[in-house]
Each structure stands twice: as C-alpha cells, then as structure tokens.
Amino acid sequence: MKAAERGILSSYDSKRASTRAVIGVMSLVVAAMVLSMLYPIAVTFFNSLKSVPEVNSFPPKLLPRAWEWSNYREAWHYMKLPLFLKNTLLIFAGNLVVTVFALGGAAFALSKLSLPRRKLIFFFFLTTLFIPPSTYIVPNFVNLKDLGLMNSFFAFWLPAGASAFNLLLLKSFFDDINNEIFEASRIDGASDWYGFTRIALPLAVPIVSTLAIFLFSSAWNDWFWPSLVMHGDPHYPLSTAIYKKVIQATGLKLNVKFAILSMVALPPIVVFLIFQRFILRGLHLGGVKG
C-alpha cells in the first residue's frame, strides 16, 4: 500500500484546539475574500436580467422578480461586438507571435549562446522592471506617432517585444534545459535557429501557455492604451469600445449595460477556469532559481 504523503500539519497537530481555531479563522477570511470577489460578478449578472425600475429600486435585491432574457438580445444588437472581439483577438495573436519569436529568441540567445557580456545585457533588461509603466507611456506614444503606426495593430505588437518580465520567464525556463541537448544538435550540424525552433520552443510549451494566458488577459482588459493609439470603431478592441460606448453612455438602459458587461466578463472567466493549471505550472517552471 502506498504511504500517504505527509502534509504541513501532522495528525497530532490538527487535533490541537489552537490549531483548529487558527484553521477556522483562516477559513473565514478566505470565505470572506471569495464572497467579496464573487459578489460584484453576481450583481452584474442578476442586474442584467432585471427590468429598469427593478435595477433602480431601493433597497436593492439580488435576485430579479422576472427574468428578462430579452436584455441580452438588445445588448447584442446595441454594438458590433464581433468586430471589437476580432480586433481584440488580433491584438492577442500578434502579441503572442512577437513574444514567442522576438522575446523567445532573445531569451534563448541570452541563455544558450555565447554572447559577449550577456550577463550585463540581461541585467539591463532586469533594471527596466523597476521603472513605473506610467513613465514610458508618453515616449511610446511619441515614438509610435513618429513611425506612423497610429491606428495600427503594430502599436500593440511592437511594444510587446520589449517586455522584460516575459523575457525573464522565458530565459529562466531555457536555463533549466540541459545544454547537452543543444551541443549534440550542433555536432550533428544543426544551426542555432534549428535548436531554438525545433528543440527549445517545443520544450517551452508550458511557459508559452502561461504567457498566452497573461497576454490574453492584458489584451482583453486594457482600454487606456488602445484609446490613445486607436481612433474609430473599426480599430477599437473590446475593452475600449465598452468604455466609450457603454460605461460613458448616458442614454443606454442600465439593465442593457449590465447585460453587455456580463457578456464581456464571461470569456476571460471561462479561459481562466479551463487553463488555470497552466498558470501555476508555467510560473513554477519559469520561476527564478536561486
């Protein structure tokens, strides 16, 4: 019979009254945190199924008296959600390609190639992590404007190739790959590009999956930067369109607003629930080792 793995607490410790009290308090704190996170989502969903007088009623009630599913049909026809969703997915796809090949190639070079002063180069990238993101919004905007990339998806794809955090995760993962694999491929006549595309990238699927989830979340939720570099409905991603056409709208009914917000909030929740194991696994594999 296989022996059970020992947890943090032994069976003796778990029977002590003080230990049970601490566990009880921690459970209450966790439950309160979960409720505080789920309550806004529940309010948004149930308000999307209410009538306008019921949404504005006081004191408010969580559950609707009558379930108004027609609010979702009206919300779907209010704005061009498929167009904005397509723009968001294009931003995500471009960011992923740039991250895998540009940052992945840089991480592979810093990890497996004999570059002169590569530690100094890597230290330079790490120092950018200490710079507040708000400080380089204006320089990025000016550079993209001078390059003529306004109203272009390259305004998202180009900065994606300068993420020091993603570079750090990829390099830390490549550092754990045995160098003998690449030395054997070089003996067989393989180039460094072959080692990167045919050996390193297939092994890096876990960390790439984690980065894909992060990039999807960023592309889905970011509205401020797209509102600066994009102008007009044909170029807006979903979050910017929601901010400009729903959050700032004055003539839109509240229940329809909540219906739109519910539809927009559902996909990232589903993506996280399905791929959450890749997040923890990827961060573990790509973590910095001491």
Distance CA 93, CA 85 (A): 12
Based on the domain organization, do 145 and 236 belong to the same domain?
A: yes
Are residues 285 and 176 in contact, defined by beta-carbon separation less than 8 angstroms? yes
Q: How far is CA 279 from CA 109, 119, 169, 183, 287, in A?
A: 25, 28, 12, 31, 12
For residue 11, the model assigns a pLDDT of 66
Q: Is residue 4 part of a domain?
A: no
Q: Is residue 163 part of a domain?
A: yes
Q: List the structure tokens of 156.
A: 């998202």
Based on the domain organization, do 47 and 82 belong to the same domain?
A: no
For residue 32, the model assigns a pLDDT of 94
Q: What angle do CA 274, 275, 279 make, to 5 degrees?
A: 150
Q: pLDDT for 230-272, tens place per residue?
A: 887 788 999 998 988 888 887 888 888 999 999 988 888 888 8
Based on the domain organization, do 31 and 90 belong to the same domain?
A: no
For residue 9, the model assigns a pLDDT of 64
The continuous run of DSSP H or E covering 84 comes out as helix 81-98
User: Which stretches of the chain drop beneath a pLDDT of 70?
Assistant: 1-14, 278-290
Q: pLDDT for 145-158, tens place per residue?
A: 898 888 889 999 99
116 φψ region: left (φ > 0), alpha (ψ -120 to 50), beta (else): beta
149 Cβ contact partners less than 8 Å away, ≥ 6 residues apart: 155, 158, 229
Are residues 218 and 165 in contact, defined by beta-carbon separation less than 8 angstroms? no
Based on the domain organization, do 24 and 141 belong to the same domain?
A: no
Handedness of CA 220, 222, 223, 225 (dihedral sign): negative
| Domain of 255, in residue numbers | 75-285
For residue 88, the model assigns a pLDDT of 93
Number of structural domains found in the chain: 2
Distance CA 96, CA 149 (A): 19
Based on the domain organization, do 85 and 34 belong to the same domain?
A: no
Where residue 215 sits, what CATH number does that domain have? 1.10.3720.10
